[in-house]
Structure formats: C-alpha cells, structure tokens
C-alpha cells in the first residue's frame, strides 16, 4: 500500500516552474493545468543557495523560540508535585498532598489550550500581515506571561492556581504563534536541498529546552535542599516542607524567559521572507533587494517575469473547492498524523513522573521531603532527555534530506508502537525493582523514535506543501490539531492511567498504566496508517510542492 501511495505522489508531482508558459497535460482531477509565467529569480537563488551564515542565524533565532516553548510547556510537569505539597498537604494524612484531579488537569493542560488558540490565530495572521510582522509579538507575550506565571499572586491555593492558570493560558497563546511562524520562516529561507534539515534543526531546539528545564530544576532544588535541609514527610510531615520551597517553583517557571529575551533584537532585524514579499505582498523588487543583502549577491528581476506571475490561491481561499481539490487530502494527512502523535507524545512527557513513581523508579513520596522529590523527578527527566529525546531530534536533522519525510514518519510511528507494546505486554515484569532500568531504557527509546520520527516530521511537512498565501494558516491548523491531541493526552491520560482497583485520592478508577500503554500503541499505529496520505517533499522546491504558479485552465476562463 505504501508503494502505491508513493507512486501516486510521483504521478501528481508538478513539473519545474522555471520555463515560461509550460503546460502539464492533466491535473490529478483530470483538468488541464497551466504553468503561469517563469519562476522569479529571487526564488531560484534561494532554492539553489549554498549554506551560509544567514541560514545558521535563522536557525538560532527561530530555534531559541522553540527552546523557550519546550521549556515553558514541559517545566510545569516538574513542579506539579511540589505545588501539591505546598498548597494541598494535610499533615494529619499519611502522605503528602497532591493536586486534586481537576486542578492537576487545569495546571497541566491550560497552556496547551492557549497554544491551540495561538496556533490558529497567529497562523492566520502570519498570512495576512506577514511572518516577521507578528514574530516579535509572540516572543514578547511569552516572556511577559512566563514571568507573570512565576509571580502568581496570593498565598491561598485558589488564588495561586487561578492566576497561574490564567497566565499559562496566555503563555501558551504566545507559544502557539511560534509554531506556524518559525516553521514557515525557516522553510521560506532555506534552499530546497537542505530545507528539511534546517526546519528540523529549529524544532530540535525543543530537546535542549526540555533538558534545560530539567537542569534548572535540578540546580534550584539542589540549592534549596542545601540551604534549607528538611526531614522526609514520614519522619516529620510539618518540617518536610520548608516554606522557602514556594520560591523554587516560581524561579523554575521564570527562568526560561532569559534565552527568549536575548533573541528579540535579532528577530526584529530579520527581513520579511522573500516568498511572502514576492508571492503574497506581490513586491518582487523588494524581495530581490532584501535577499541581495542576505545572500550578498546582486539579484534583479525581469519586469516581464514579475508581471506574468500568477499565484495559487490568489482568487480562491482555504474553504474553496480549488483548495480541497489540490490540498484537501494533504491537510487531512497533516492534521490527523499530528493529532495522533501528540496524544501519545504529551501523555508520555507530561506524566512521565507519575509513570516512574508507579514502576518504582522514584521512591514513594512520603519517604522524601518536597525538594528531594523535585530533585529526583528532574534527574529522571534529564536522563530521558539526554538518552532519548535529544538524540532523536538530531538524527532527524542528519537524515531527513537523505531518507525523506515519509519514511522517517512511518518508521517512527512503527517503532513507537513496538516499544509501547514492549512496555505494556510484560508490564508486571517492569514493575519489579530488578527491572526498572530496562523499563527506563525502553521508555527512552519511545522518545527517541518519536523525535526521530513523527514529532519532527509533522512539524516540517505542513511548512512545505501548502501555497505561500495559505502556508502559515495551514501549518497553524495542522499544529492546532496536534494540540487537540495533546489536550486529550494531558486531560485524559491522568484519569485513564489510574489503577483499576486502588486509584489515587480524588480520582475514579481508570484502566491502569498497562492498558493506557496499549491505547497509546493503538494511536501510534493509526498514525502510521494516516502517514500513507503524506506526500514526500524531499528535494523539491516549495513552489513545486505547493503548486504555486499553477492555475487550472478552467479557473482562468
């Protein structure tokens, strides 16, 4: 079946747009199509450009946004147990306090809700106003709301959690904007030979953001433990929670603003992408002037080529019949695969602390004080990031322009399915102390193949296959679909993974960790099947993939 889909993609590929007035006999819908005009010189230069300093600057500038995105989204998982101890501990109970189910879901998932909204809004705005025009605003929103999250007002549980959730929603809103804008900017700057690796490198900064969050939590918790030593909860419930611990989680949440703030100046200095300026704003001369400075080469546009440009989507929009004929199946592929991937990926990331506790890799909460528990959770997440998450991202960078997007995504979904089953089938075996290391190794491998697989490719492909006029919007829709899956993972997994007989306090009975792993394996398998609809964009220009400069003969009539 995969071979058939590859052949279908090859048969529907668009011929080179470099020759004027070239024709293609039949479109996939059986209609004659016409290549309208020659390719602009500035776009040819970008497609053929050798790797230069500006490519690396673009990777760093866009990548630091994703570094901050990952830090802000996943650092909350490190501090939720500390929040539970601080605000919900009853020292008359045998164990330390935990966040109630509704509070835990809200704290963990509210930023994802904001991210979904931000992806849709800023994706649309990026096509309306330009990529650069709104790029700096998303960064400012992230910095301000990250600081405000750490300064959450009040001392009562209700006031602190309410303000924390409020600011994390708007933090997520800013993070959401970074997805379509960074992906689109990097895809429109890169050459066609290295585009996949460059977009993957931007996204790979997420891995360093996750690791940095764990390291910051390690350093903060170690510092506070040394300055304010305390007994375990079992020894002295009241003394196990040093009042100064309230500063620890606030520092962790705020620390991610530093790298993001440092890149704001450079974001503002970036010129608008040539493809937006030329194909959407219809100012090819300005695009040539901007890229002449960037490429350090003289680029001139012939007036007759500029005048002959006809851009796909100029007369039709996202909800038109023409879009559905050309890209409807593509949008279904990118939204469904990202949705299915994020159910599993965010379930694993946000609740790995709970899984590690249940299999015994982290000791029972009552045997530690609050800061020691934070330290151990941070150490576990740092090890997973080092051994599985970060290597997976950079394997994608190394191989995506060699192997291709399609095969990396198929392989990633398949291996995630295999390792989820390897964890779930002999689950009782992994809960025994002698086998904890084996569990962690397999668990890390699921992260490796998520990142050397669909977690990277679902981000890359939507930035390549849609027309310039709708590229940011379609990427935002695809990313928002992913965040819908993440919300299901964040809100659903915590309940579903509860023990069938003895759930945690405040929770109803669930299906248990073992059955939850089977459900995640099933979503990964469905993701593999939906990947068969994803076109391969390796080695093709954005205009060839998106069919920009191609119009139906019937549309011209």
Least confident of 145-154, 318-327, 370-379, 508-517: 508-517
Least confident of 63-67, 280-284, 433-437, 525-529: 433-437
What average pLDDT does the structure give for the chain? 83
**pLDDT over 80 at 450, yes or no:** yes
Which residue is it, tokens 């959690």?
161
Two tokens at 492? 């659903």
Q: Which helix (H) or strand (E) holds 551?
A: strand 550-552
The set of long-range contacts for 443-447, using a CB threshold of 8 Å and a minimum separation of 24, is 443/348, 443/352, 443/355, 443/384, 443/388, 443/419, 444/383, 444/384, 444/387, 444/388, 445/388, 445/415, 445/419, 446/348, 446/388, 446/415, 446/416, 446/419, 446/420, 447/348, 447/384, 447/388, 447/389, 447/392
d(CA 355, CA 445): 15
Q: Is residue 384 part of a domain?
A: yes
Which pLDDT score, from 0 to 100, does residue 526 have?
Answer: 96
Report the pLDDT averaged over residues 524-535: 95
Least confident of 69-73, 115-119, 211-215, 526-530: 69-73
Report the pLDDT averaged over residues 75-85: 90
d(CA 183, CA 206): 13
Contact 501, 509 (CB under 8 A): yes
Q: Is residue 33 part of a domain?
A: no
Q: Which of 17-31, 73-87, 357-371 has the highest mean pLDDT?
A: 73-87
Which pLDDT score, from 0 to 100, does residue 17 have?
Answer: 34
Q: Is residue 549 part of a domain?
A: no
Which pLDDT score, from 0 to 100, does residue 16 have?
Answer: 36
Q: How many CB atoms lie within 10 A of CB 322?
A: 18
Which pLDDT score, from 0 to 100, does residue 427 have?
Answer: 83
Q: 122-134 pLDDT, tens per residue?
A: 999 999 999 888 8
Q: 206-220 pLDDT, tens per residue?
A: 999 999 999 999 999
Q: 193-242 pLDDT, tens per residue?
A: 899 999 999 999 999 999 999 999 999 999 999 999 999 999 998 888 88
Which pLDDT score, from 0 to 100, does residue 33 have?
Answer: 41
> Between the CA of residue 381 and those of 144, 267, 301, what are the distances in Å?
26, 31, 52
Which pLDDT score, from 0 to 100, does residue 295 have?
Answer: 78
Which pLDDT score, from 0 to 100, does residue 227 have?
Answer: 92
Range of the domain at 87: 41-540
- Determine whether 261 is exposed, middle or buried from the number of CB atoms within 10 Å of its CB (0-12, 13-18, 19+): middle
Q: Is residue 467 part of a domain?
A: yes
Report the pLDDT averaged over residues 83-99: 90
Report the pLDDT averaged over residues 410-419: 96
The residue ranking higher by pLDDT, 252 or 496, is 252
| Banded pLDDT at 19 (limits 50, 70, 90) | very low
Which residue is it, tokens 């191989």?
399
CATH number at residue 385: 1.20.1250.20
Which residue is it, tokens 């299901």?
488
d(CA 349, CA 171): 19
Which pLDDT score, from 0 to 100, does residue 402 have?
Answer: 94
Q: Is residue 556 part of a domain?
A: no
| Banded pLDDT at 312 (limits 50, 70, 90) | low
User: Distance from first CA to last CA of the chain, Å, rounded?
Assistant: 38
Number of domains comprising the chain: 1
| Banded pLDDT at 380 (limits 50, 70, 90) | confident
Q: How many CB atoms lie within 10 A of CB 92?
A: 6
Which pLDDT score, from 0 to 100, does residue 301 have?
Answer: 66
Which pLDDT score, from 0 to 100, does residue 127 have?
Answer: 93
Least confident of 76-80, 96-100, 280-284: 280-284
Contact 75, 381 (CB under 8 A): no
Q: Is residue 207 part of a domain?
A: yes
Whole-model pTM over 0.75: yes
Which pLDDT score, from 0 to 100, does residue 64 have?
Answer: 87
Residues 123-161, buried b or exposed e (16+ Cβ, 10 A)?
bbbbbeebbbebbeebbebbbebbbbbbebeeeebeebb
**pLDDT over 90 at 30, yes or no:** no
Q: What percent of the chain has a predicted confidence (pLDDT) above 90?
A: 41
Q: Is residue 123 part of a domain?
A: yes
The residue ranking higher by pLDDT, 20 or 66, is 66
Q: Is residue 416 part of a domain?
A: yes
Contact 201, 399 (CB under 8 A): no
Q: What percent of the chain has a predicted confidence (pLDDT) above 70?
A: 85
Which pLDDT score, from 0 to 100, does residue 302 have?
Answer: 65
């Amino acid at each position: 079946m995969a071979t058939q889909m590859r052949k279908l993609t090859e048969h529907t590929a668009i011929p080179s747009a470099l020759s004027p007035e070239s024709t293609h006999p039949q479109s996939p819908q059986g209609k004659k199509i016409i290549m309208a005009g020659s390719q602009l010189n500035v776009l040819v230069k970008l497609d053929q450009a050798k790797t230069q300093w500006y490519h690396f600057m673009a990777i760093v500038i866009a990548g630091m946004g994703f570094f901050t995105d990952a830090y802000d989204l996943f650092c909350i998982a490190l501090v939720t147990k500390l929040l539970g101890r601080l605000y919900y501990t009853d020292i008359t109970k045998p164990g330390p306090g935990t966040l109630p189910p509704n509070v835990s879901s809200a704290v963990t998932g509210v930023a994802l809700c904001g991210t979904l909204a931000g992806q849709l809004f800023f994706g649309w705005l990026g096509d309306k106003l330009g990529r650069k025009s709104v790029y700096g605003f998303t960064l400012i929103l992230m910095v301000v709301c990250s600081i405000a999250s750490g300064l959450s007002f009040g001392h009562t549980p209700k006031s602190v959690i309410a303000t924390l959730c409020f600011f994390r929603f708007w933090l997520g809103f800013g993070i959401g904007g970074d997805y379509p804008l960074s992906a689109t900017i990097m895809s429109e700057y890169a050459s066609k030979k290295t585009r996949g690796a460059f977009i993957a490198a931007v996204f790979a900064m997420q891995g360093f953001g996750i690791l940095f969050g764990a390291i910051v939590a390690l350093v903060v918790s170690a510092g506070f433990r040394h300055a304010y030593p305390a007994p375990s909860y079992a020894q002295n419930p009241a003394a196990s929670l040093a009042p100064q611990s309230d500063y620890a989680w606030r520092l962790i949440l705020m620390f991610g603003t530093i790298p993001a703030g440092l890149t704001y100046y450079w974001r503002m200095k970036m010129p608008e992408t040539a493809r937006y300026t030329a194909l959407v704003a219809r100012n090819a001369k300005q695009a040539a002037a901007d890229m002449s400075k960037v490429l350090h080469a003289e680029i001139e546009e012939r007036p007759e080529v500029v005048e002959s440009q006809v851009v796909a989507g100029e007369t039709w929009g996202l909800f038109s019949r023409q879009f559905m004929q050309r890209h409807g199946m593509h949008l279904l592929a990118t939204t469904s695969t990202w949705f299915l991937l994020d159910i599993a990926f965010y379930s694993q990331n946000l609740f790995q602390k709970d899984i590690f506790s249940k299999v015994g890799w982290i000791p029972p909460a009552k045997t530690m004080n609050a800061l020691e528990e934070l330290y151990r959770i941070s150490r576990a997440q740092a090890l997973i990031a080092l051994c599985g998450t970060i290597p997976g991202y950079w394997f994608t960078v190394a191989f995506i322009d060699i192997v291709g997007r399609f095969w990396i995504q198929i392989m990633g979904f398949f291996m995630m399915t295999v390792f989820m089953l390897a964890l779930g089938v002999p689950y009782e075996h992994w809960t025994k102390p002698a086998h904890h290391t084996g569990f962690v190794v397999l668990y890390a491998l699921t992260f490796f193949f998520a990142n050397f697989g669909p977690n990277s490719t679902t981000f890359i492909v939507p930035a390549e296959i849609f027309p310039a006029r709708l590229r940011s919007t379609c990427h935002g829709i695809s990313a928002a679909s992913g965040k819908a899956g993440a919300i299901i993972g964040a809100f659903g997994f915590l309940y579903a993974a509860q023990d069938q007989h003895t759930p945690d306090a405040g929770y109803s009975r669930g299906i248990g960790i073992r059955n939850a792993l089977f459900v995640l394996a099933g979503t990964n398998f469905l993701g593999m099947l939906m990947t068969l609809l994803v076109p391969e964009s390796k080695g093709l220009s954005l205009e060839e993939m998106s069919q920009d400069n191609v119009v139906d003969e019937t549309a011209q009539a």
